[in-house]
Amino acid sequence: MVALAQSPCDVLVSDYVMPGGAHGDGLALFSFIRQHYPNLKIVVLSMLENPAALRVLMHAGNYCVFSKADPISNLTIAVHAAYANGCYLSPRMVAIADSLKLGARGSMAGAALTRRELEVVRFFVSGMSVTEIAALMRRSKKTISTQKSAAMLKLGIERDADLVRYGMESGLVLPSTSGNASEDGDEELMAISKMA
């Protein structure tokens, strides 16, 4: 965030997953950015393969989403679309979005997940306990447990092991923290300077 405060820009390209940042990552980070920089356009880089996660991400106002599996040359298109207040999904993200229309596993039930439920599931399947998630999200343990249970019910999942398997298959698992990122995750933020 320090780099963003020191170098104002029109478009921010940010990874979806940046564990260890002072402002969180994913939806929490983008919400923070929108509150503090309401005119800043965001292009989200992601490895997510989950249709429900894409739907929640777009519903939260992130209309330019770029898959890391797509050619980097397409990133320029995403930046220009964001700058013009447009919408852009890279080819891989279009395929994922299309699966929402087809009702693929995870999309019908997953589409009903709230933003908080999706975040709780993402942290849980990445190895965090309910207590750790509660501390991280500054919520009560009971609230986190309720959100996890509600998500499992919506996904038709009864056991924690099946939830973890679902998370792995759906691309919701966070990578382990290597300790290489700075406290505020600036290494993962790439600001695009004022465009002419």
Bridge partners of 46? 67
How many Cβ atoms are within 10 Å of 34's Cβ, its own excluded? 15
Q: Structure tokens of 171? A: 């691309």
Q: Could you give the CA distance from residue 13 to residue 45 in angstroms, rounded to a whole number?
A: 7
Residue 20 or residue 164, greater confidence = 164
In this predicted model, what pLDDT tens digit does every residue of 77-135 receive, in sequence order? 999 989 988 888 899 988 888 776 544 333 333 446 788 888 898 889 888 999 999 99
Bridge partners of 93? none
Cα–chain center distance at 48: 8
Bridge partners of 65? 44, 89
pLDDT of residue 107: 38
Structural domains in the chain, sorted by start: 2-192 (3.40.50.2300)
Q: Could you give the CA distance from residue 98 to residue 32 in angstroms, rounded to a whole number?
A: 29
Nearest residue to 185 via CA among 23, 8, 5, 30 = 23
Q: What is the average per-residue pLDDT within 22-32?
A: 76
Q: Could you give the CA distance from residue 88 to residue 188 in angstroms, rounded to a whole number?
A: 21
CB proximity list for 101: less than 8 A, separation 6 or greater: none
DSSP run (H or E) holding 52: helix 51-59
Question: Alpha carbon of 28 to those of 87, 109, 136: distances in Å?
Answer: 21, 22, 11
Give the up-direction half-sphere exposure of residue 120: CA atoms within 13 A in the CB hemisphere: 25
Which range, of 20-24, 33-37, 66-70, 104-108, averages the lowest pLDDT?
104-108
Query: Contact, 43 vs 79, CB < 8 A?
Result: yes
